[in-house]
Structure 1
Amino acid sequence: MDLHARFPALSDLKARARRRIPHFVWEYLDSATGVEAGAARNRAALDDVLLRPAALLGEVAPDLRCQLMGREYPVPFGIAPLGMSGLIWPKAEQLLSGFAAQAGIPYGLSTVATEVPEALAGQIGDQGWFQMYPPKSAEVRDDMLERAKAAGFHTLVLTVDVPAASRRERQTRGGLVQPPRLTPRLLAQVARCPVWATGIGFGEMPRMRLMDSYAADLAKGPLPSTAHVGYLLRAAPDWDYVAALREAWDGALVLKGVCEPEVAARAASEGVDAVWVSTHAGRQFDGAPGAASMLPGVRAATDLPIIFDSGVESGLDILRALALGADFVMMGRAWHYALGALGRDGPAHWYDILVKDMESNMAQIGARRLEDLGGRLIRG
């Protein structure tokens, strides 16, 4: 099967994934919060970034290699952490981490994934990033860090933009409950997705295993559909929390969800190694501006490396973010659309789409290196 003929873009992967994933799972993956205006602004902000076409430059052979936090990567993008990844597609954490190790790109494991760090220890190679939702308990925090480090994760990503559960109305209407369980309504949806159902199996539904190992005795009764056991442990972090985490973790430390220049400006003095500009893909606050529109202000405020996500749907979008000042781009949903569409073959195909799109568009604007992109920026 010629995958590029059948699935040349993310929209094609999304369309097939939607047919192969139960509706309640699709709504969890694809939804934002509120009326999803924030997600729309993420898209609009990227569309507003224009790059100047070039002519008469001869052959352009783009070089996609980059460096980030002292490490070299073949491309300037990776796989962002995504909660309940293994619910979206069977064994998603194993498939994505294994592909990342093979491709030489970062893989982020979420605190609220369906696998614990130890389960990926043999296959993430040197590409493991561990994303932390901050526990209130210093004992729990330090134990998580020890487990992540022992499993081979070298970069810690502290998510700082989730002080409370968002509402995510589409997710609620979809019928997902926490902890996940198959109600008669959801069983009917599963029956229409035999590949997903066979992969998940007929035992217990995927759960947040890392959180369960700490919070099993704290959850008293059902939780709201957009919350989970992790919220029983979470703190709303401040700079004191960052300082404590910096002292406890001896690897690279990234702050995820930074949209304010003043936060980015302070980060270096607090021992942070990179900041991650993100609006959580519109899943937390519907009143936020498009994430790309905040990149120039954050770039002007810090010399730290900047990672970006939110709204990225193509190689051109990656180039837009880099032109605005990002050093690296992470995506979460897109890799899962690819898994839903093509299973094990999905990540490699999505990677190939991104590389080909980046190379084509860099040739169009005469950018031979990623460092050339800023000079081709017209508006953003």
Structure 2
Amino acid sequence: MRAMDPAQKYPALSDLKAACKARVPWFVWEYLDSATGSESVKPRNRAALERVLFRPAILRGPIAPDLTTRFLGQDYAMPVGVAPVGMSGLIWPGAEAALARMAQARRIPYSLSTVATQTPETIGPVAGDMGWFQLYPPKDPSIRADILTRARNAGFRVLVLTVDLPGPSRRERQLRAQLAIPPKVTPSMLWQVAQRPAWGLGTLRAGTPRLRLMEEYLKLDGNAPSTAHPGYLLRAAPDWDYLRAVRDMWDGPLVIKGVLDPEDAPRLRAEGADAIWVSNHGGRQFDGALAALDALQDIRASVGPDMPLIYDGGVESGLDVLRALALGANFTMLGRGWHYALGALGAGGADHLATLLQDDLIANMVQMGATRPEQVATQLAPRQDRRDEM
């Protein structure tokens, strides 16, 4: 009997998300899907995206969209990439390599987290020229220098400095799930794993998920909660001097991730940032944060038309990508989405999601008569919540 085409069984990211929940252990799901506090930021991100509407175009004749995007001196197949996700290999065995391999094949950027389960030396050659490295700022300058040197030597071209974590968040769902980093085996955990054999067998082959890079600088006994793992314990609360030090050490493109205040953006540009990443960390840090999309337009206005901006927060489709581009982004990223896809379908899930995003981008651009992604801004309908401002 022929297996069902994934495009029929999983035609949307929501289908992949539901399948992922059914295939990974509960403690893994709580790690991937959770935010902090009442988790109000996640629906806030979605609501902001859904308020952005367009006028469809008519009588434009045949439309052949071109998704290729030049960003930070590199050509990408579409304006979508893989955001960094800590402990990616916990969510699905071999996640970092699978996503890096997909990104290289699809010609989209892949961002490796400082707190990934694999080292830069392992993943850099897989990602090739699509590799970005995300830095959680270490307190120790010598550790910072060593990590940056290793990332550069492993082939990573773009550095992403995350600045929106001055301290750990509580992430209550993860606390209730009793998740430790690295995972501490308990009877409850064993029972959860037994109910998800594909994840369990894959993890058995791949080995216990560990923060391999950070553990080289700090050893733990395995009893640290997920919000007090080596990455947190080594991390600094960076300031502007820290940013200058990183800028001086990194000779490639530097992206500053976690920006929501338009007053910060011009100074970041002046201090040498090559791009600003507008993000509220998917609601995982601060439950009182505004929707990232609501910050995007103000940040664009504050830096002018030429500063490269990246957007993430609630993106679930090609249409959402176009919404962000229409409001001022040059590029978009997904984090959880790629991992929902891995959990649903294994390594092949990432490629399937890339196809879904690509096809949805094309379908919606045709509706708007756009041959290039940036052209959809001309089809924006007035936002209902901003009519009084016009």
TM-score class, shorter: over 0.9
SS in 2 for 1:146: helix
Residues 135-168 of structure 1, C-alpha deviation per residue, up to 9 Å, x if partnerless?
0111000000011011100110000001111111
Asked if the contact 1:48–1:379 (Cα under 8 Å) also holds between the matched residues in 2, the reply is: no
Matched, 1:10 2:30: no
Task: Supply the distance in 1 between the matched residues of 2:197 and 2:28 (Cα, whole angstroms).
Answer: 14
C-alpha contact 1:80 1:332 (8 A) present in aligned 2: yes
Question: Is 2:13–2:316's contact at 8 Å kept on the other side of the alignment?
Answer: yes
**Structure-to-structure mapping, 1:1-380, within 5 angstroms:** 1-201=4-204, 205-216=208-219, 219=220, 222-302=223-303, 303-380=306-383
Question: Which stretches in structure 2 are left out of the alignment for 5+ residues?
Answer: 384-390
Residue of structure 1 equivalent to 2:387: none
Work out the CA distance in 2 between the residues paired with 1:312 and 1:50: 15
For 2:283 and 2:86, locate their aligned partners in 1 and report how far apart those are by CA, in whole Å: 15
The question of whether the paired residues in 2 share the 8 Å contact of 1:39 and 1:282 is answered with yes
| Identity among equivalent pairs (%) | 57
Runs of 4+ in 1 over 4 A off after TM superposition: none
TM-fit CA distance, 1:222: 3.2
TM-aligned CA deviation for residue 220 of structure 1: 7.2
- State the distance in 2 between where 1:358 and 1:242 align: 35
Offset at residue 60 of structure 1 (A): 1.4
1:203-235, Cα deviation, whole Å (9 max, x unpaired): 85211111100011xx47833342211122111
Is the 2:184–2:222 Cα contact (8 Å) retained in structure 1? no
Q: CA deviation at 1:202?
A: 7.0
| C-alpha displacement of 1:84 | 0.2
> Which whole-Å CA distance do the structure 2 matches of 1:198 and 1:359 have between them?
38
- Whether contact under 8 Å (1:253, 1:273) holds in the other structure is yes
Work out the CA distance in 2 between the residues paired with 1:108 and 1:369: 25
Contact 2:68/2:79, CA 8 A, preserved across alignment: yes
Distance 1:321 1:186, change over 3 A: same
Instruction: Give me the whole-angstrom Cα distance separating, in 1, the residues matched to 2:223 and 2:166.
Output: 21
**Are the structure 2 counterparts of residues 204 and 6 from structure 1 closer, same or farther at C-alpha, using a change threshold of 3 Å?**
closer
- State how far apart, in whole Å, the 1-side matches of 2:132 and 2:243 are: 17
Residue 379 of structure 1, CA deviation: 3.4
Distance 1:273 1:156 in 2: 10
Aligned pairs, number: 378
TM-score, length of structure 1 as denominator length: 0.97
- Give structure 1 stretches of 5+ with no counterpart: none
> In structure 2, what is the Cα distance between the partners aligned to 1:50 and 1:203?
44
Cα deviation for residue 371 of structure 1 reads: 2.2
- Equivalent position amino acid for 2:254 in 1: L
Q: Secondary structure at the match of 1:78?
A: strand
What amino acid sits opposite 1:298 in the alignment?
Answer: I
